[in-house]
Chains A and B, each alone.
Chain A
C-alpha cells in the first residue's frame, strides 16, 4: 500500500492537479474564519463541521457521506458505480468487520432476507460479534507495535504482553469511546479510580508504551535503551494520534513541520517520569478456560505418572519421565500468575534534558513537559506542571485538529483500502492533502461530538460521541461503501487508484486473514477469543535464527494450532515467516499502513505450506460429505462456501473438467479415495483463487 501512496502522490500532481486545487477550495470554505495564516497548513487548524453539499442525483444518497463523494464526482462528470450484488456485499462486510468469511447460516439468512433493512441488520449483527474486536483490535495492534518479546539479541519473552492485546480486543467489542480508550493507554495508571478495589483494565491499557523494544544483551548500557524506549513512546504517540512523524526532531529541528528539537524533548519529558512496573494480577481468563487448562494439566500429569509407575518402563525411560514430570509440575496452571506491564509516576525522576544530536551521553538544556506550540494549548489540571494524564487529555481535546481526523482516516483506510488522506501516517506538510477534505472534517467533527448534533444542520445528524462502532456503521451504510469494486474501463483510465471513490477498493486480505479464511472454509478454525498466544509449527533451522539459536519455540499442539492468525506468538527477532511473507507488520515500530505485495513466495506458501495443504485436504472431506447427487453439485457448493457466490457456468465447467482429469489420471477412479483426492485438487484451487484471497 505504501507504493500505492507514492503513486497516488505523483498521480495527484501529474494528472489531477486541477481537481486537487478545487478540493482545497472546498476545504477553504469549510475553515473560513480560522486562523490559517499562522500555520499555513490545513492539518494544524481544527476542523469545523461543514454542511453536506447539494448534489443532483439525490436518489443515490443513503447518508451524508454520499453527498460529499457524489458532489466531487458530479463536478468531474464521473458516475458512481452501482451497488455491489448481495453476495459481494455479504462477503465484503464479513471480511471488513470480522475478518471471517460468511458462515453458511449467515449467507442463507442474508441472501433470503428481502425485507427492508436486511443489510443494516447484517451490519449490526457483525458489529456485535466478538470477532469484530479481533478484526479491528489487530489494526490497532499494528499501530501499537505489539509483540510478545522484547526484541534485540536476547529477545526476551514477555509472557503477559497478551493482556494488553486482549484489552484492546475487548475495548473494541464493548465499544469503549475512543477518548477513554486514549486516556487509558497514555495514562491509565494516573486515572482517578472511584472505588476501593482498583480496576486493573486501565493499568493493562497503559501497557501500550511497555511494548517498546529493550536490549538485554550482555554489556549494554541500560540507560541508553531506556532513552531509546522513551523516544519511541514519543514517536509512536505522535504517529498514532497526531499522524505526525516527529522522530527526526530527536536529533534536530523538524525540517518540514514546525516541531523543534526542544518540543520533541518536551514531549519526551512526559515519559521521563514514567517508571516501568510489573503488577502481579490474577489471570483475566474466564473460569471455563481456567477449568479447561487445569483439566488438561491433570490429564497430562496422570499420563506421565502412569507411564512412570508402569512395570514395563525401563530405567532410562523412567529417568527421562522423571525429568518430564518435574518440568510439567513447573508449568502447573496458576490462577494468579500474571504480571501487568504498566507504569507508575516516578517520585524522584531525573530532570528531562535535551539530548544533543540525539545522543543520550550529551545532555543539553533542561526541559519541562509540554506540547508543540503549533497545536492547541495544553491545559494542565494542577499547578505543578503537566503529567501524562494532561497529555492524554490534550490528545482528545476537541480543540485538537489532528486526533479525530487521524482516527477517522484510519477507519476509512480499512474500509476502502485507502485513506481520505492517502499518507495515513503523515498529516503534516509533507503528507498528501485529503482527497475529500470536507468529508474528512465532517466525520472528524461528528466523531468528537458528544451532544446531539442535529441542531447543526437541516437534516438530523448522527452523534458519534467517539464511538468507533457508530463511525463504522455510518460508513458501511453509505452508498459509497456499498458500490461495486469492479474497475470500470472509464475509471481505469481516469482514476486507476480510486481517489475519487467512484467504486469500492479491491485488495488482498492481510496475512492473518488469509490464514483465518483457509481454516474457516476447511472447517478447522478454532474460534476462541483471547488468551495466551500460541506457537505454530516452525522449522528448526528457522527457529534457530533467533537469539543465537538459544530461544525456545515449543510448537503448540491440538486445537491451539487452529486459532486465528492474530494469536500467533510474535517473536520480534524471528517473526513467523509464513506471516511475514504476506506483509504482516513487523512490530518494531508503529505501522499505520501495511504493505500489500504479490510474490512467488506467497504462491509457494499457499500451495505447499503444511497448514494450507491440510486445509485443502480438510475441505476435500467436507466436499465429499456435502449432500448432492454428483460432483458438479458438490463442487458448486464448495465454490459457494469459499466465495459466497455461485460459480458461473464457465467456472463450474472448468472445475468439473479438472475433477474429471484427476479421476482419469487415477488408477482406480471409482474408489472413494480417488474421489476425495480429486476433491482435494478442487479444494486447493479454490483456496488459491485470487478472489478467495481478495476482499472485493
Chain B
C-alpha cells in the first residue's frame, strides 16, 4: 500500500469514530468533498459530505446593505407614524434605551414621505421607491420582526455576518462553504463583491475566523485582475508558465518519492487548481455571451449621471452594483457556493430623503432583475437570495447636537426588516409584526441567530450540529441560541 492509500484508509476508520462526536460532520467535509486540499493530507476522491437532511438550497446570494436600512420608509408601512409626525414618544417607550446620537428628551417622530403600494398577488405593501423588488413580492418572504442587540455598525455587521459581535469569527459564507464544500473545482467556494462605499469593518467581515483559511471570502474585483495575483507577472507568457508548472510538478513528485509526505500531492493539486482558476475567472467576468436584454435588465450600462449621495459611492456605483448582481448569477451557475454582495452606505443619520432615493435607484433594478433572471433560468429553486442590514432606523427623527435640522434617523436595533427569496423559502408572505409606530416587535420576533439558523436549515444543516472545535469550545454560527423560523419554509 502506498502512503496515500494508508492515510486514506486511516481516515476512513477515523471518520467512523469521529462522527459520533460533535463536529464530526463538519470534519467529514474537511476530509471529503473538496477535501482534495484539506490540510494536512489530501484524500483524493473521498466521498462528498452529506448535509444533515435534505437541503433546499445549493447556493446563496447574500445582499448586504450596510449601515442600517430604514424599514419604516421601505418595508414596514406605519400610517400611525405619519399621523403622529412631530410628536414625542411616551417616556415609557424610551426608558432604559440607548441611542448612538439621538437626544431622547427632545426627539420627535418622523413620518415617511414615501407611499407604499400593494404588490403581486400577495398584496404585500412595499415602498414605491422599490418598484422592481416590489414586482417580485410573490417570491419574497419579508421578516418585519428582526431584532439585534448590537447598535453600533461594526459589532452589528459582525453579528449579521458571523453570528457574533466579536471580531475574528467565521462568516456565514465560510461556515456554509466549510460544511458543504464546493461544487466547482475552478473557483473559490465563497466570493465577495463590493460596490459603493466599502464595508466599514474591512475584509474581516468575510473572514474564515478559526475555520481553515481556504473558506475565507475571496474578493473578486471589478477592474484589473478578477482575483488578487491571478495574472502571470509581466514577461511570463502562458507557454512559459506551462513549462514551469510542468517542471515544478515533476520535481515535487520526485521529492514525494523520497520523503513520502502525502501533503506534497496536495501542493501539486493546488497548483493545478490555480492554473484552472486563471482560465475560469476571466471567463466568468466576460459578459460578451450575455444578451443585450439581460444586460439592460440588470442595468449594467446605467451611468448614474445626475445622482449624488453624501455617503460614498459615486455615479459608477450604478453600473458596479448591476455587474455584481449579474456576476452573482454567473457564479452560482458555475457552482460557487456563497456569493456576498456588499453595498454601502445606508447609514442615513441625515439627508435621508436624497440618500435613500440614491441607494434605491442603485439597487432596486439589479436586485429585481437578479430574482427574475434566476427564476427564469430555474435557478431560484435552489438559490437562496438574502437581503439584510445590521439594524434598522428609528421612527424618531435624529436630533443630534450640531444638526441644524432633523433630516434623518438614528440606529434602531429593536425592530427592522430583512428578506429572503428562493432556495426553499415560501414567498409572498410577511413574517412578524411591529407595533403601530414600528418601534418594537408586536409578533413573532426573529433574532439574527434565528435568521442564521433558518438559512443553515435551508442548506440542510442543523445549526446546533454544525460545530467547530476551537479553543476547546464547539463553536456554532448561532452561538448558544437560534430557532429555525419554520413559517419561512416552503
Seen from chain A, the residues whose Cβ lies within 8 Å of a Cβ on chain B are 1-4, 6-7, 10-11, 13-15, 151-153, 155, 213, 215, 217-221, 239, 245, 247-248, 256, 423, 425-426, 428, 430-431, 485-489, 492-493, 496, 506-508, 539, 541-542, 544-549, 571-575, 577-578, 580-581, 583, 586, 588-589, 595-605, 607-610, 613, 648, 650-651, 654-655, 657-658, 661-662, 665, 677, 681, 684-685, 688-691, 693, 696
- In the bound complex, what is the Cα–Cα distance between A544 and B210 (angstroms)? 25
State how many angstroms separate the Cβ of A1 from the closest Cβ of chain B: 8
- In the bound complex, what is the Cα–Cα distance between A332 and B435 (angstroms)? 59
Q: Which of B16, B201, B218, B254 is in CB contact (< 8 Å) with A152?
A: B201
State how many angstroms separate the Cβ of A619 from the closest Cβ of chain B: 14
Interface pick from B112-120, B245-253, B441-449: B245-253
Q: Given A11-B14, A487-B260, A604-B230, does the pair A245, B154 have CB atoms closer than 8 Å?
A: no
Q: Is the CB of A613 within 8 A of B233?
A: yes
Point out the residues of chain A lying under 8 angstroms from B411, CB to CB: 219
Check: B83 CB closer than 8 A to any chain A CB: no
Q: Is the CB of B274 within 8 A of A423?
A: no
Q: Top 10 nearest A-B pairs by Cβ distance? A: A219-B100, A573-B202, A588-B168, A603-B274, A426-B472, A613-B233, A487-B260, A14-B17, A600-B273, A600-B274
Interface pick from B38-46, B328-336, B455-463: B38-46
Interface pick from B2-10, B295-303, B350-358: B2-10
Q: Which of B23, B219, B244, B264 is in CB contact (< 8 Å) with A681?
A: B244
Q: Is the CB of A596 within 8 A of B40?
A: yes
Seen from chain B, the residues whose Cβ lies within 8 Å of a Cβ on chain A are 1, 3, 6-7, 10-11, 13-14, 16-18, 21, 23, 27, 30, 37-42, 98-101, 152-155, 166-168, 188, 194, 197-204, 207, 209-210, 212-214, 216, 218-219, 221-224, 227-233, 235-236, 239-241, 243-244, 247-248, 250-252, 254-256, 258-264, 266-268, 270-271, 273-274, 277-278, 312, 344-345, 411, 469-473
Point out the residues of chain A lying under 8 angstroms from B221, CB to CB: 541
Point out the residues of chain A lying under 8 angstroms from B210, CB to CB: 2, 595
Q: Which of A575, A595, A691 is in CB contact (< 8 Å) with B212?
A: A595
State how many angstroms separate the Cβ of A580 from the closest Cβ of chain B: 7
Q: Is the CB of A608 within 8 A of B255?
A: no
Q: Is the CB of A577 within 8 A of B203?
A: yes
Q: Given A3-B212, A506-B263, does the pair A609, B229 have CB atoms closer than 8 Å?
A: yes
Point out the residues of chain B lying under 8 angstroms from A542, CB to CB: 203, 219, 228
Point out the residues of chain B lying under 8 angstroms from A575, CB to CB: 203-204
Q: Is the CB of A577 within 8 A of B263?
A: no
Chain B CB within 10 Å, residue with most, of A486, A661, A691: A691
Q: Is the CB of A599 within 8 A of B270?
A: yes
Q: Is the CB of A217 within 8 A of B229?
A: no
- In the bound complex, what is the Cα–Cα distance between A155 and B154 (angstroms)? 11
- In the bound complex, what is the Cα–Cα distance between A239 and B228 (angstroms)? 35
State how many angstroms separate the Cβ of B209 from the closest Cβ of chain A: 8
Q: Given A247-B471, A608-B231, A655-B251, does the pair A506, B39 have CB atoms closer than 8 Å?
A: no
Q: Which of B98, B260, B473 is in CB contact (< 8 Å) with A492?
A: B260
- In the bound complex, what is the Cα–Cα distance between A507 and B41 (angstroms)? 11
Q: Is the CB of A220 within 8 A of B152?
A: yes
State how many angstroms separate the Cβ of B24 from the closest Cβ of chain A: 8
Q: Is the CB of B229 within 8 A of A605?
A: yes
Point out the residues of chain A lying under 8 angstroms from B469, CB to CB: 6
Point out the residues of chain A lying under 8 angstroms from B200, CB to CB: 153, 217, 547-548
Q: Given A3-B30, A10-B14, A689-B252, does the pair A684, B473 have CB atoms closer than 8 Å?
A: no
- Nearest opposing residue in chain A for B26, CB measure: A6
- In the bound complex, what is the Cα–Cα distance between A625 and B484 (angstroms)? 67
A-B contact pairs, 8 of them (CB 8 A): A11-B10, A220-B152, A581-B213, A586-B209, A598-B263, A607-B274, A685-B248, A696-B259
- In the bound complex, what is the Cα–Cα distance between A7 and B469 (angstroms)? 11
- In the bound complex, what is the Cα–Cα distance between A2 and B178 (angstroms)? 14
Q: Which of B239, B250, B271 is in CB contact (< 8 Å) with A665?
A: B239
Q: Is the CB of A651 within 8 A of B197?
A: no
- In the bound complex, what is the Cα–Cα distance between A600 and B254 (angstroms)? 21
Point out the residues of chain B lying under 8 angstroms from A574, CB to CB: 202-204
- Nearest opposing residue in chain B for A506, CB measure: B261
Q: Given A220-B152, A496-B7, does the pair A547, B202 have CB atoms closer than 8 Å?
A: yes
Q: Is the CB of B250 within 8 A of A654?
A: yes
- Nearest opposing residue in chain A for B10, CB measure: A496
Point out the residues of chain B lying under 8 angstroms from A657, CB to CB: 247
Q: Is the CB of B251 within 8 A of A689?
A: yes
Q: Is the CB of B204 within 8 A of A245?
A: no
Q: Given A539-B228, A650-B254, does the pair A155, B202 have CB atoms closer than 8 Å?
A: yes
Q: Is the CB of A595 within 8 A of B213?
A: yes
- Nearest opposing residue in chain B for A547, CB measure: B200
Q: Is the CB of A573 within 8 A of B203?
A: yes
- In the bound complex, what is the Cα–Cα distance between A19 and B60 (angstroms)? 46
Q: Is the CB of B471 within 8 A of A651?
A: no
Q: Which of A610, A677, A688 is in CB contact (< 8 Å) with B233?
A: A610
Q: Is the CB of B197 within 8 A of A14?
A: no
Inter-chain pairs besides A151-B167, A657-B247, A696-B259, 18 sampled, C-beta below 8 Å: A2-B210, A215-B152, A496-B41, A545-B194, A580-B213, A588-B167, A597-B37, A597-B214, A598-B263, A598-B270, A601-B218, A607-B233, A648-B254, A681-B243, A685-B251, A689-B248, A690-B264, A690-B268
Q: Is the CB of B204 within 8 A of A681?
A: no
Q: Is the CB of A685 within 8 A of B247?
A: yes
- Nearest opposing residue in chain A for B241, CB measure: A607
Q: Is the CB of B154 within 8 A of A153?
A: yes
Point out the residues of chain A lying under 8 angstroms from B213, CB to CB: 580-581, 583, 595, 597, 599
Chain B CB within 10 Å, residue with most, of A431, A544, A608: A608
- Nearest opposing residue in chain A for B228, CB measure: A577
Point out the residues of chain B lying under 8 angstroms from A247, CB to CB: 471, 473
Q: Which of A544, A589, A599 is in CB contact (< 8 Å) with B198?
A: A544
Q: Given A3-B38, A580-B213, A654-B254, does the pair A218, B198 have CB atoms closer than 8 Å?
A: no
State how many angstroms separate the Cβ of B377 from the closest Cβ of chain A: 28
Q: Given A597-B39, A604-B230, does the pair A506, B252 have CB atoms closer than 8 Å?
A: no
- In the bound complex, what is the Cα–Cα distance between A677 and B236 (angstroms)? 9
Point out the residues of chain B lying under 8 angstroms from A685, CB to CB: 244, 247-248, 251
- In the bound complex, what is the Cα–Cα distance between A573 and B153 (angstroms)? 14
Q: Is the CB of A580 within 8 A of B216?
A: yes
Point out the residues of chain B lying under 8 angstroms from A597, CB to CB: 37, 39, 212-214
- In the bound complex, what is the Cα–Cα distance between A661 and B244 (angstroms)? 10
State how many angstroms separate the Cβ of B64 from the closest Cβ of chain A: 14
State how many angstroms separate the Cβ of B308 from the closest Cβ of chain A: 17
Q: Is the CB of A15 within 8 A of B13?
A: yes
State how many angstroms separate the Cβ of B13 from the closest Cβ of chain A: 6
- In the bound complex, what is the Cα–Cα distance between A431 and B30 (angstroms)? 21
Q: Is the CB of B264 within 8 A of A599?
A: no
- In the bound complex, what is the Cα–Cα distance between A605 and B204 (angstroms)? 20
Point out the residues of chain B lying under 8 angstroms from A650, CB to CB: 254
Q: Is the CB of B471 within 8 A of A245?
A: yes
Q: Which of B14, B99, B233, B236 is in CB contact (< 8 Å) with A14?
A: B14
Point out the residues of chain B lying under 8 angstroms from A152, CB to CB: 154-155, 167, 201
Q: Which of B98, B219, B278, B471 is in CB contact (< 8 Å) with A221?
A: B98
Q: Is the CB of B248 within 8 A of A493?
A: no
Point out the residues of chain B lying under 8 angstroms from A598, CB to CB: 37, 39, 42, 263, 266-267, 270
Q: Is the CB of B167 within 8 A of A548?
A: no
- In the bound complex, what is the Cα–Cα distance between A256 and B469 (angstroms)? 14
- In the bound complex, what is the Cα–Cα distance between A541 and B17 (angstroms)? 46
Q: Is the CB of B1 within 8 A of A493?
A: yes
- In the bound complex, what is the Cα–Cα distance between A248 and B236 (angstroms)? 52
- In the bound complex, what is the Cα–Cα distance between A220 and B150 (angstroms)? 10
- Nearest opposing residue in chain A for B250, CB measure: A654
Point out the residues of chain B lying under 8 angstroms from A507, CB to CB: 40, 263
- In the bound complex, what is the Cα–Cα distance between A113 and B254 (angstroms)? 30
State how many angstroms separate the Cβ of B389 from the closest Cβ of chain A: 15
Point out the residues of chain A lying under 8 angstroms from B233, CB to CB: 607-608, 610, 613
State how many angstroms separate the Cβ of B279 from the closest Cβ of chain A: 12
- Nearest opposing residue in chain B for A245, CB measure: B471
